[in-house]
Structure 1
Amino acid sequence: MSAIGVAGILATLMITAVVPPIFADQSDRAVVDAPVTLITASIAGEIASLSVQPGSDVAAGEPLAEISNPRVDRAALISLEEKSADSREKLSAARAKSQTDSAYIASLDTEIANQTSQLRARLQSQIEELRARVAQSSAMSSEKKALVDRQSDMVSRNAASMDMLRPTQQQYSAALHSTDAETFKLNQKMSQLDALNKGIYVGDDSVAISILAQKRRDIELDAKSMDIEARQQSGIVTNLQKIIDTEGGRLERLGAATVVSPGSGKVLTVGASTGRHVNPGDTIASVIDCDKRFVVAIFSYRQGENLMPGTRVRIDGGVLHSGVVTSVLPRTTDKVDERFAVPFPQTERRVVCHHHAGPGGRRTAAHRDDGA
């Protein structure tokens, strides 16, 4: 009976040692891991303050550090501000000159209007006087013509001699010429008045007004030129101000920055200290998200064929006893390890790395759950 009992115990031990590998694949090269987020510096500068320690909990958007950079190069901004100040001075000068020209034009308009009014009144008076002279000359011509006709009739009847007729004929001819001269003067003054009403200045009487009108045109052209200059400088000032605002914002971002946590988790490491100089991209701290922890296990290629993504597994040594295969990696690298809290177990030839979802302990063993 004793021999049979010992044999039964040995058979049981052999069965328990041989049967599990037949019905399930297992590996004790497994670790619990979790993704790590690297908190990096966004600008170059010195760490002004650091508010986290390894092991402390952080929330999404929580400030972790303050970086200041008092040595930001402001040469470009200073140059832009100098150009803007110069353009503003030119703009002010152009506007002031345009206002001065406008005031001068208004003064010239008043003076031209006054002199035009005076000249118009004088021309109208001269026209009336010339009309009277033309009428007088016409009357004298008619009188001389009647006298010539009467003397001519007397000469034809031999009642008078030609010596008496000739002076009368000459006087009549002189009266006609005088009428023509006065009529010409009248027409000239009327034309001058008509041109004056149309803003055209001709004749000796209009020389002063013509000079004022020419001066007004010159000043008006200068005022228009100043308006164009003012609009150009205004556009330049507006564009420069936009560039200055953009550059100022860029320098403000480069001068100081607040480093915040992109998500919630626990601070794993702190790689900087207050007062330390950092460059853009330097790691300040790392945050681990334990809510996304998973198990990494190493299996051989032969076993890996039975552990495709979606396969359910049993996990021993952790608080969670089951999981699902999420991915299979033929191999791993140091670059991959940097994204996780614990380095993956070293892979060798003919082995693969499996990710199993679900939390567990620090060291685990993973088994394929085949229902046995």
Structure 2
Amino acid sequence: MSNPSSGRRNPAILRVSAIGVAGLLSALMVTAVAPPIVADQSDRAVVNAPVTLLTAPIGGEIDALTALPGSDVRDGDRLAQISNPRVDRGTLISLEEKSSDARQKLDATRAKGDSDRAYVASLDAELASQAQQLKMQFQSQIEELRARVAQSNAQSGEKKALVERQSNMVTRNAASMDMLRPTTQQFSAALHNADAEGAKLNQKIAQLDALSKGIYVGDELIALNNLAQKRRDIDLDAKRMEIEEKQQSAVLADLERLIDAEQKRLASLAEADVRSRGPGKVLTMGAAMGRHVNAGDTISSIVDCDKRFVVAIFSYRQGQTMMPGTRVRIDGSSFRSGVVSAVLPKTSDKVDERFAVPFPQTERRELYAMITPDGANATGAQAQETQTSDTSTCPVGQWVTVTRDNGIVPSMSVSWRRIGNLVASWTHEDSRNPDTAQNHPVDANTRRAGMARLQAASRSPVPQALKADEDWWSRTRALVSR
């Protein structure tokens, strides 16, 4: 027989269950929509750091790799060595041919200049010798002409005395005019002869003076004048060779400078080292031994762990409260606090290439908060660094939770996750206690179902606990591949 009290309790239980389910769904909807807009906490945050891409300066083959992913490097450390035996030396060969031609022309010009100068010296010696002989000849001729001038003067004096005597005789009528006329003519001829000899003397004196000054005038100096003209022509040619020698020397110097520059360029193209441009850790190596690379290909990427920062996603309504200078708490990493350094509305693929991991994907009306950590300032964090070694010293790619100091509204995904972890711990304790599992089997199943619902209601997946033996670059690659 049915119990009437149980029949009355069933509708009440159904109403309470419906109200409870409706309230739970309403709470889930409200917490899933409203809190992310005004939450002061975000678990969509990742540790990031700038990356330096080291590219191949030349094309060639990888001869040596001295670094591995995860290894520490210092500024100037050699990471790879590239050699290129197939360097085009056509330009160098052409420059060397031009340099050889210029050197031959310079040598020929110098030889021609030396020959011209030697010829000029021999012509100078010949001119000096002939000029000296002509000077001696002119001096002897001058002496002879002076004697002739004196002789002509003496003859003209004699004729003058004879003319005067005959003129006296004609005056005394002792002689006729017919006898005086020939004597007068002879006297006039003697005077003209004296003038001619004086003119010859003056001519020789003038020629001697011109010869001393290097001026060759007269029939006797025609050969000497020809030698002087030839000497001037050869001297001009020697000066022209001197000018050409200077020009060829300048051309040869330019070609040698170009050859030196080309040799240095070929040396830099034939072999080059890829060196680090700062301290950090090797994130990836994009080349292998013996691989052919082109100029500009990425050889390695180095992450600067000293400049690590946290990228967190907040609602755009939190833009005023997350202004630069705002202090925040960071959970899940070796550092525990930090300061907001910048707020970005969005990012791009080109910006992501500059960092170790890409920025998390934002939704509508969300922004990025760039946080500079204060460092591992807690004792527990230092102990964690000692335990996890490199994974803590450079936790790039690690998901963390960021909370604004004095923040009021938490992130619902973080709250649900914590509740789920708490329920999971209870469930784990119940499974470990056999008496509890036997006495209350329905309660254990109910808790497991509730845990599944709580995890399904979370906005973000539960992050996996970091393993001590998990490398930080493997986490980074996994994050990049997602």
- When normalised by structure 1's length, the TM-score is 0.89
Q: Distance in 1 between matches of 2:355 and 2:177?
A: 145
- 1:179-199 deviations in Å (ceiling 9; x for gaps): 122122112111211211221
1:327 aligns with one of 317, 329, 342? 342
Which residue of structure 1 lines up, in the alignment, with residue 333 of structure 2?
Answer: 318
Which amino acid letter does the alignment assign opposite residue 370 of structure 1?
N
Equivalent in the alignment of 1:148: 163
Counterpart residue number, 2:236: 221
Q: Are 2:323 and 1:276 equivalent residues in the alignment?
A: no
Could you say which residue in structure 1 is the equivalent of 2:404?
A: 368
1:160 is aligned, of 175, 198, 205, to 175
1:111 aligns with 2:111: no
**Partner Cα separation in structure 1 for residue 353 and residue 323 of structure 2:** 25
User: Matched residues in 1 for 2:106 and 2:179: separation?
Assistant: 86
Structure 2 residue runs without a partner (length 5+): 1-26, 376-391, 409-482
Instruction: Find the aligned partners of 2:215 and 2:171 in 1 and give their Cα distance.
Output: 56
CA distance in 2, matches of 1:295, 1:149: 144
Contact in 1 for aligned 2:346/2:368 (Cα 8 Å): yes
2:103 aligned with 1:67: no
Q: Secondary structure at the match of 2:165?
A: helix
Which range moves more in the overlay, 111-120 or 30-39? Answer: 30-39
**Contact in 1 for aligned 2:59/2:295 (Cα 8 Å):** yes
Other-structure match for 1:7: none
Is 1:230 the counterpart of 2:241 in the alignment?
no
Aligned to 1:183: 198
Q: Which 10-residue stretch deviates more, 200-209 or 148-157?
A: 148-157
Q: Which structure is higher in helix share?
A: 2
After superposition, give the CA deviation of every residue in 1:185-225 in whole Å (9 maximum; x if it has no partner): 11211121121122111112212211111110111111111
Counterpart residue identity of residue 274, structure 2: V
How far off is 1:24 after superposition? Answer: 6.4
5+ unaligned residues in a row in structure 1: which ranges? 1-13
Q: CA deviation at 1:41?
A: 0.9
1:30 alignment partner AA: A
Worse-matched range after superposition: 211-220 or 201-210? 201-210
What is the deviation of 1:109?
Answer: 1.0
Moved more, 107-116 or 342-351: 342-351
Question: Partners in 1 of 2:268 and 2:258 — Cα distance?
Answer: 15
Distance, in Å, in 2 between the alignment partners of 1:334 and 1:174 is 124
Higher relative contact order (CA 8 A, sep 6+): 1
Cα distance in 1 for partners of 2:240, 2:309 equals 76
Partner residue, 2:71:
56
Q: C-alpha root-mean-square deviation of aligned residues, in Å?
A: 2.2
Write the deviation string for residues 29-88 of structure 1: whole angstroms up to 9, x where unpaired.
122222221111112222121111111111110011111222222222222222222222
Q: Among the aligned pairs, what percent are the same residue?
A: 66
Q: Deviations over 1:78-125 (max 9, x none)?
A: 222222222222222112211111111111111111111111111111
Aligned residue in 2 for 1:120: 135
1:19-98 mapped onto 2 (5 Å cutoff): 25-98=40-113
Q: 1:256-287, CA deviations, whole angstroms, 9 ceiling, x for partnerless residues?
A: 21110011111111110122121222110111
Does the CA-based 8 Å contact 1:24-1:367 persist in structure 2?
Answer: no
Contact 1:40–1:282 (8 Å) recurs in 2: yes
Question: Aligned to 2:109, what secondary structure does the other structure show?
Answer: helix
Q: 1:158 to 1:303 in 2, by over 3 A?
A: closer
More strand by share: 1
Counterpart-to-counterpart distance in 1, 2:334 and 2:83: 45
Q: Report which stretch shifted further, 298-307 or 124-133.
A: 298-307
Residue 130 of structure 1 is matched in structure 2 by: 145
